[in-house]
Each structure stands twice: as C-alpha cells, then as structure tokens.
A and B are shown apart, each in its own frame.
Chain A
Amino acid sequence: MPDHPRPDRAELIDIYRTMRTIREFEERLHAEFPGGEIPGAVHLYAGQEAVAAGVCTVLTDEDYVASTHRGHGHAIAKGCDVTAMMLEIYGKAGGLCDGKGGSMHIADFDRGMLGANGVAAGGVPLSCGSALSAKVRGTDQVSVAFVGDGGANQGAFAESLVLASVWQLPVVFVVEDNGYAQATGTRFHLGGRDIAPRAEALGIPAVVVDGYDVLAVREAAAEAVLRARSSEGPTLLDCKAHRFFGHMEGWDQQAYRADGEVDRLVAERDCLRLFADTAIVRQTLTTAELADVDAAVRVLIDHAVDESKSAKDPDIGELLTDVYVTY
C-alpha cells in the first residue's frame, strides 16, 4: 500500500475544526440537557472525536457511513449541517429528519450518512448493503460501518464480517472500543482484549489503532479506504478511545469508572490537545489560527442551540407522512 499523502494545511485545519465542532456540540448538549428542553436519550461522543474525524477526512461526500446510537460525531465529520442536527435533537421542525428521527436516528443521505442507529450493530449490515450497491453499480464508493465495543459482540456484526469477507465488499469496519458497553467494561464483556483478531480470523486485514491520535486513525483509514476502492475487500480498524461522558445523558453518573479516571482522560488523552501538540500541526498552524477555529465553532454552536430553542415544533400533520412511499 502506498503511503497516503501527509495532510496539507487545509486538511489539518479541517480535521481540527471537525474535532472541535464535535467537542463543542457534545459539551453544549451536556450543559443544556438538565434544562429539560431536550427530549429523549442523548449519547455523547466527546473523547472519541479523533476516530470520526480521522476516518471521515479520507472519505468523499459520495462515500457512505452507517453509524451508532452515539452518532453525533460521525454525522458532523461526514458533513451534516450542525444546526439541522441540533434542531433534530431538540425534536423541532427543520431538523435534519424533520423531528422524526432524533439523536439516535440522525441521517443525511445527501452526505452519505445512512443514519445513527438505535440498535447496537444494527447499522453494520446496512454498510454491507451500501458496499454491495457500489460494487454492483460499478462505482468506487466506500462504505464505513462504525460500531462500538458493545455492538461488536452482536451477531449482526459477526455475520457482517463474514459476508464482507466472502463477497469481498468495499467496506471498512471501524470499531470504537470506548471501554464500556453502557456500564459494563470490556474487561468483562469482550471475551478477549481486542476485536481485531475476529476479523483477521476471516482473512480481513485488521489493525489496532490509538483512537486518541487523529493522524494515526487517518493513516489507518486511508490505507483501508484505498484497499476498498481498489476492490481489495474489507478492512477492520479497532480504535481505542474512551468517552468523556457517561453512556447517556440524564441517567449515567459513571460510578462504575475508577476515581479520577475521567479527569486523567481529559488531562492526558484529549485528542484535540494531542493533535495541537503534534509536530506537523505546530509547524503548520499557529495557535491564533486554532483559536480562530475555536471561536468560530462556538458561534456556530451558539447559533444552533438558539435556533433550536426558538424553533417550532413539527406540524402535527407530519405524524402520518413518510411511513410509505405509496400505500
């Protein structure tokens, strides 16, 4: 495999902006959630930004991703409109899915975002399908299936690895091992340290990746995407990056995590800070430029939240639309 070109200045800025947007989006939701205006279940992605940003930076708009219940980061990294996402999470008119999907079902087919998914590993088989579609239609589109360590235990995931292997599908499985399936640790639930060997056993190249290091994720993803585009079949990336917040807002106080674990994570394994400290970023971008991104992102998220709070509820007439194309 040839090395993927090093990221240029524009891509470095893009990667940083993506990660900062996800972080700001999630921290803001965490702050707003207790106010009671956000309905339902919200699962935050903060801490894992490097995985979504590192994978999606090597994808095009035409490529597909299928996401998980913890899907905001994937949607942002795939280019979904942040205000429309926020409106969706608030259940308002004008949301990305007109308020019919919510946090767990954000999708934007125009961006190749096939949807967050309320079922662990539920989206993984969909990626086999979008990959089959590209193959049959003769395009070089790549499909990415994001799945958590918890979802990786599902039969749908195991079966999808088999199908992708035997059909040689242009799909990249991105496991995000964040250490916890809800409140149950991988040390108990995974039955082994890594998920990568499960793919290797099926002849699928697999690599364990430092999920806090966006450039390492990008490098691994670039190789996997090139393999898929070259009709050389699937790859699995087993990315390790723990989440900052609990499983779900409003319910999970993270008592199952060791004392000081999250504080250490934030202090030592913050992918944004690690990225800003890399040689390539220090040589290419100034701290002022990064601060400008931070400021612009804050304005963007402020706007998204303000819009969402003042937006109208969906029209009640929408209740029974879109069940079928025709019926």
Chain B
Amino acid sequence: MTRVLSYLNAVGEALRQEMQHDPSVVVFGEDNIGGTGCDGKLGNAWGPTQGLHEHFPDRVFDTPITESAFVGAAVGAAATGLRPVADLLFVDFAGVCFDQILNQAAKLRYMTAGKARVPLVLRAMYGTGMRRGAQHSQALYPLFAHIPGLKVVLPATPADAKGLMAAAIRDDDPVIFFEHKMLYFSHGDVPEEPYVVPLGQARVTRTGGDCTIVALGRMVAEAEKAADELVADGVQCEVIDPRTISPLDTGTIYDSVRRTGHLVVADESNPRCGVAGDIAALVAEHVFDALRGPVRVVTSPHAPVPFAPVLEDAYAPGADQIKAAVRTTIPVLARQEHAS
C-alpha cells in the first residue's frame, strides 16, 4: 500500500523497518534520541531518528560531540557484527573525522584481503537553501565518491530515500548516505512495506530523444522543471537520476546519450574534480562517437557557499541554468539563441 510521505519520514521509516528486520542494526549520533542526560523528556531528535528510541531503546544512542570516536566506533562495530547507522548531521562535519572515513572505513576490507567487512551507513545532510553559510551547506559527495571502498548514495525522492536507505543498511560495504536538507519536507508516494532500491541502478525519470540530462540529488527536480519548460521549444529531454554516484550506473547514461547525442549534467557540488566533470569525461571517453554537441555541466561555482539569501540563491544552480545549458548543447537551438 502506498501513501504520501515526506522525504524525512521516508528515511525514518526505513530506519525503523530495518531495525525491526535485523537486530544488529544500531543507530547513533548527536541528538539521535535527543535529551539523554537532561532532566526533561527524551525524544528531542530533529531529523529522521525522531521517536526511534521508543521502539528500540537499546539500539539508539545519543553521542557526545566526538565524530572521530563515534564514526570510528561505527567502523569497529561494523567489522565485529553490527550494522551501525551513524549520523554526521551536516556532511561538512566530516572535516573533523575524515581519517575514520577515508583511512579506516574505506580501506579495512582491502587491507585485510577481504577478511573484514564494514557494513555501516553514515548519514550526511548536505546542500544549500537553508541559509546556514559556508560550513553547513556544502555538497561534498564528490570527495567520498573519489575514495575506493566507499559507496555514495544521493536519494532525490521520498520513495528512493526509503528504498535506498534500506539497501544501504543491508549492504555489506560502507555507504555514505546524502540527505538534502531542502528535500526533507518534499512529499511523494512511498510504499508502506519494506523494499529495497538497489545501489547502482539509475532511474530514468522521463524519456526523451533530444538531450540527456543527468541530474543529482536536488537537481533532479530542477532538471524535470527545465525539461517541462523545454517542451515549448520542441525539445524532449531524457532525465536520468543516477541515485548513487559510487557505484555509478554508466550503462543507463551511455545508452541514453547514444540515443540523444547530447548531454547536460546538473550537479549542486563545486565544479573542479567533481561528479559532473567525471560524468562528462566518462561520456567523452566511452560514447564520444554519439555526441552531436558539446557536453555541458551545470554546477555551483568554485566558491564557498555564501550566507545572505540573495547570494545563496545565486550560488546554487537551478532549472534556468539547466535549460540554458540544454539550449547551448543542441546546435540548432544554440544558433537560435545566438541569433536572438
């Protein structure tokens, strides 16, 4: 049975169902219960873990502000029989515990020739839009996708948020799970029963023969809006949401580009050494012969995220930039654009 659920509650429902399903799943982070050590009531978590402790009082924990210790504890617990879901809060805070992610979680399996497995999920809130400034708004997923041994997941819809979280928890490798803060209160149809959206399978959100738009996270909705508006120009875009960037479903992207001959990548992250550039390079390397126009990437600029609303709104890309990029990659439209 399906009903409308928010992205935030979809993540929460996946956590609850997976904890029900598997007693080795534990959940912890700062204020994941909210209220431990206080005289008032428990249950002051802000995010998807709200209320979880009532169902599983022995498997949900508040942590002190000790990211190195508790992210590392997630690695150690994962290597010794648990399936921890640790919460970084803002992905920006990976800065204080990156060793445990980069050198411990990602490498333990390889360094032990496969004797270790590290089935952990690290939840990480990301993205612009909430006026939180440069240290609480980054879209840092390319950093993690760069590291062999980690998987990187970016759900764009409530249904995917639930299914990908379930898949991430059941997965035997370390998964960094990116939750866009501005998507938390977006709503969509979500099945009630437990289900899994496999990691590494892109979703084609709409089909079209003129241009492929690969969009990540919050950019998926922006790409769909752009695609809607481009119909007026007689342009049918195909929108692909990779859903996970490591592993990356290159097959779906290549097949689409072979049919459309054009590619735009929309990525909220910064442009240098990022996912957009990576996808552009992969397409250039593997399906160059199919390209009939330049590949365009739409990203945030090479600058920190600003605070003032007018600046932040100018920072993150959106439907208008995606539309403009599609127009300039299709030669006939580019000529019209130039002429006008």
Interface residues of A (CB under 8 A from B): 64, 66, 97-101, 105, 107-110, 114-115, 117-119, 122-134, 136-137, 143, 155-156, 159-160, 162-163, 166-167, 318, 321-327
Minimal beta-carbon separation of A289 from chain B (angstroms): 36
Known contacts A98-B113, A322-B109, A322-B110; is A132 also within 8 Å of B99 by CB?
no
Task: Mark contacts of B95-129 with chain A using CB atoms, 8 A cut-off: 1 yes-contact digit, 0 otherwise.
Answer: 01001100110001111111111000000000000
Q: Are B112 and A128 in contact (CB under 8 A)?
A: no
Cβ of A156: which chain B residues have Cβ within 8 Å of it? 68-69, 72, 99-100
Residue of B70, B77, B100, B114 near A322 (CB, 8 A) is B114
Q: Are A125 and B113 in contact (CB under 8 A)?
A: no
Please tell me if B43 contacts chain A, counting CB pairs below 8 Å: no
Known contacts A156-B68, A156-B69; is A130 also within 8 Å of B80 by CB?
yes
Residue of B67, B68, B113, B172 near A101 (CB, 8 A) is B113
Q: Are B104 and A122 in contact (CB under 8 A)?
A: yes
Cβ of A107: which chain B residues have Cβ within 8 Å of it? 108, 111-112, 115-116
Q: Are A162 and B66 in contact (CB under 8 A)?
A: yes
Minimal beta-carbon separation of A260 from chain B (angstroms): 38
Cβ of B178: which chain A residues have Cβ within 8 Å of it? none
Cβ of A119: which chain B residues have Cβ within 8 Å of it? 99, 103-104
Cβ of B58: which chain A residues have Cβ within 8 Å of it? 136
* CB-based nearest B residue for A66: B76
Cβ of A322: which chain B residues have Cβ within 8 Å of it? 109-110, 112-114
Q: Are B117 and A128 in contact (CB under 8 A)?
A: no
Q: Are A159 and B26 in contact (CB under 8 A)?
A: no
CA distance A322 to B110 in the complex (A): 5
Q: What interface size band does chain B fall in?
A: 35 or more
Q: Are A109 and B172 in contact (CB under 8 A)?
A: no
Minimal beta-carbon separation of A28 from chain B (angstroms): 24
Q: List 6 A-B contacts (CB under 8 A).
A: A107-B112, A132-B73, A133-B77, A134-B80, A160-B68, A163-B70
Cβ of B323: which chain A residues have Cβ within 8 Å of it? none
Q: Are B26 and A105 in contact (CB under 8 A)?
A: no
CA distance A143 to B110 in the complex (A): 23
Cβ of B75: which chain A residues have Cβ within 8 Å of it? 125-126, 129
Cβ of B67: which chain A residues have Cβ within 8 Å of it? 159
Q: Are A115 and B112 in contact (CB under 8 A)?
A: yes
Q: Are A323 and B110 in contact (CB under 8 A)?
A: yes
Residue of B24, B70, B82, B172 near A325 (CB, 8 A) is B172
CA distance A60 to B292 in the complex (A): 66
Cβ of B117: which chain A residues have Cβ within 8 Å of it? 325
Please tell me if B262 contacts chain A, counting CB pairs below 8 Å: no
Residue of B26, B100, B104, B115 near A136 (CB, 8 A) is B26
Q: In the complex, which of the residues B108, B117, B171 has the most CB atoms of chain A within 10 Å of its own CB atom?
A: B108
Q: Are A136 and B79 in contact (CB under 8 A)?
A: no
Known contacts A97-B111, A101-B112, A129-B75; is A136 also within 8 Å of B68 by CB?
no
Q: Are B112 and A323 in contact (CB under 8 A)?
A: no
Cβ of A318: which chain B residues have Cβ within 8 Å of it? 113
Q: In the complex, which of the residues B58, B100, B103, B115 has the most CB atoms of chain A within 10 Å of its own CB atom?
A: B115
CA distance A133 to B81 in the complex (A): 7
Please tell me if B234 contacts chain A, counting CB pairs below 8 Å: no
Q: Are B110 and A114 in contact (CB under 8 A)?
A: no
Residue of A101, A110, A129, A321 near B73 (CB, 8 A) is A129
Minimal beta-carbon separation of A298 from chain B (angstroms): 29
Cβ of B219: which chain A residues have Cβ within 8 Å of it? none
Cβ of A325: which chain B residues have Cβ within 8 Å of it? 109, 117, 171-173
Please tell me if B200 contacts chain A, counting CB pairs below 8 Å: yes
Q: Are A133 and B76 in contact (CB under 8 A)?
A: yes
* CB-based nearest B residue for A141: B80
Residue of B63, B68, B171 near A326 (CB, 8 A) is B171
Q: Are B110 and A159 in contact (CB under 8 A)?
A: no
Known contacts A126-B75, A134-B80; is A155 also within 8 Å of B111 by CB?
no
